Chains A and B, each alone.
Chain A
Amino acid sequence: MDFTIDAEQEALKGAVRGLLARAYPSSETRREVVSTEPGFGEDTWRKLAEMGLLGLPFAEEDGGMGAGPVEVSLVAEELGRVLAPEPFVEAVVLAGGLIASAADDQQRAALLEPLVAGESLPVVAWLEPGRRWASDAERVTATWANDRWTLSGVKEPVLWGARADVLIVSAATDVGTGLFVVSPEAAGLTRDGYITHDGLRAARVELQATPASPLGDVSRDQAPLLEAAVDAARVAYGHEALGAMSTALETTVGYLKTRKQFGVTLNTFQALTFRAADMYVSLELARSTVTWATIVLDAAAEGQDVDVPAAVAQAALQVSRAGRHLGQDAIQLHGGIGMTAEYSVGHYMSRLTAIEHLIGDGPFHRARLAAQVSDHEVLDPIG
Chain B
Amino acid sequence: MRRQLSAEDAKFRDELREFFTTRIPEEIREAVQARRELTKDQMVESQRILNAAGLAVPHWPVEWGGQEWTQLQRHIWHEEMALACVPPPLTFNTNMVGPVIAAFGSPEQKERFLPATANLDIWWSQGFSEPDAGSDLASLRTTAVRDGDDYVVNGQKTWTTLGQYGDWIFTLVRTDPTAPKRQQGISFLLIDMTTPGLTVRPIELIDGGVEVNEVFFENVRVPAENLVGEENKGWTYAKFLLGNERTGIASVGATKRNLATAKQHAAELGLLDDPAYAGRIAELENQLLALELTALRVAGNSADGKPDPASSILKLQGTVLQQAVTELAVDLAGPAALASGAGDTSELPEWARLSTPVYLNYRKTSIYGGSNEVQRTIIAGTILGL
* Contact surface of A with B, Cβ cutoff 8 Å: 1-5, 70, 249, 253, 256-257, 267, 270, 273-274, 276-278, 280-281, 284-289, 291-292, 294-296, 298-299, 304, 306, 314, 317-318, 366-367, 369-374, 377-379, 381-382
8 Å CB contact of B313 from A284, A298, A382: A284
Q: List 24 A-B contacts (CB under 8 A).
A: A1-B296, A4-B1, A253-B386, A256-B386, A273-B386, A274-B380, A277-B384, A280-B383, A285-B287, A285-B291, A285-B294, A285-B313, A287-B297, A291-B297, A294-B1, A298-B1, A299-B3, A304-B3, A306-B3, A366-B286, A378-B285, A379-B289, A381-B292, A381-B296
* B290-309 interface with A by 8 A CB criterion: 290-294, 296-297
In the assembled complex, B55 has its CB within 8 A of some CB on chain A = no
CA distance A382 to B6 in the complex (A): 10
8 Å CB contact of A3 from B282, B297, B375: B297
* B95-112 interface with A by 8 A CB criterion: none
Told that A288-B293, A318-B286 touch, could you supply 13 new A-B pairs with CB distance under 8 A? A1-B296, A257-B385, A277-B375, A284-B310, A285-B290, A287-B297, A294-B1, A366-B282, A367-B275, A379-B285, A381-B296, A382-B3, A382-B5
In the assembled complex, B74 has its CB within 8 A of some CB on chain A = no
CA distance A258 to B373 in the complex (A): 24
Q: In the complex, which residues of chain B have a beta carbon less than 8 angstroms from the beta carbon of A70?
A: 1
* Contact surface of B with A, Cβ cutoff 8 Å: 1-5, 72, 76, 83, 256-257, 259-260, 263, 267, 272, 275, 278-279, 281-283, 285-294, 296-297, 310, 313, 316-317, 373, 375-377, 379-381, 383-386
B83 nearest CB neighbor, chain A only: A378
- The answer on a CB contact under 8 Å between B384 and A369 is no
- The answer on a CB contact under 8 Å between A257 and B292 is no
Q: In the complex, which residues of chain B have a beta carbon less than 8 angstroms from the beta carbon of A379?
A: 256, 285, 288-289
Minimal beta-carbon separation of B132 from chain A (angstroms): 21
Minimal beta-carbon separation of B247 from chain A (angstroms): 15
Minimal beta-carbon separation of A320 from chain B (angstroms): 10
8 Å CB contact of B1 from A3, A267, A277, A381: A3
Q: In the complex, which residues of chain B have a beta carbon less than 8 angstroms from the beta carbon of A287?
A: 297
8 Å CB contact of A289 from B5, B76, B289: B289
CA distance A151 to B313 in the complex (A): 52
Report if A295-B313 is in contact (Cβ < 8 Å); known contacts: A277-B376, A281-B379, A314-B289. Answer: no
Q: Name which of B5, B290, B373 has the most chain A CB atoms within 10 A of its CB.
A: B290
8 Å CB contact of A281 from B263, B278, B317: B317
Q: In the complex, which residues of chain B have a beta carbon less than 8 angstroms from the beta carbon of A296?
A: 3
Minimal beta-carbon separation of A235 from chain B (angstroms): 13
Q: In the complex, which residues of chain A have a beta carbon less than 8 angstroms from the beta carbon of B293?
A: 288-289, 291-292, 381
- The answer on a CB contact under 8 Å between B384 and A3 is no
B273 nearest CB neighbor, chain A only: A374
Minimal beta-carbon separation of B153 from chain A (angstroms): 36
- The answer on a CB contact under 8 Å between A304 and B4 is yes
Minimal beta-carbon separation of A113 from chain B (angstroms): 29
CA distance A32 to B294 in the complex (A): 38
Q: In the complex, which residues of chain A have a beta carbon less than 8 angstroms from the beta carbon of B376?
A: 273-274, 277-278
CA distance A278 to B288 in the complex (A): 17
CA distance A8 to B296 in the complex (A): 23
- The answer on a CB contact under 8 Å between B259 and A378 is yes
- The answer on a CB contact under 8 Å between A373 and B282 is yes
Minimal beta-carbon separation of A188 from chain B (angstroms): 42
Q: In the complex, which residues of chain A have a beta carbon less than 8 angstroms from the beta carbon of B281?
A: 370, 373
- The answer on a CB contact under 8 Å between A276 and B263 is no
- The answer on a CB contact under 8 Å between B283 and A317 is yes
8 Å CB contact of A366 from B283, B294, B381, B384: B283
Q: In the complex, which residues of chain B have a beta carbon less than 8 angstroms from the beta carbon of A276?
A: 380, 384, 386
Q: Name which of A281, A291, A292 has the most chain B CB atoms within 10 A of its CB.
A: A281
8 Å CB contact of B267 from A4, A292, A299, A374: A374
Top 7 closest A-B pairs, CB basis? A288-B293, A273-B380, A370-B278, A277-B379, A369-B282, A285-B290, A277-B376
Q: In the complex, which residues of chain B have a beta carbon less than 8 angstroms from the beta carbon of A381?
A: 289, 292-293, 296
Q: In the complex, which residues of chain A have a beta carbon less than 8 angstroms from the beta carbon of B385?
A: 253, 257
A316 nearest CB neighbor, chain B only: B286
B375 nearest CB neighbor, chain A only: A277
Q: In the complex, which residues of chain B have a beta carbon less than 8 angstroms from the beta carbon of A284?
A: 294, 310, 313
Q: In the complex, which residues of chain B have a beta carbon less than 8 angstroms from the beta carbon of A280?
A: 313, 379, 383-384
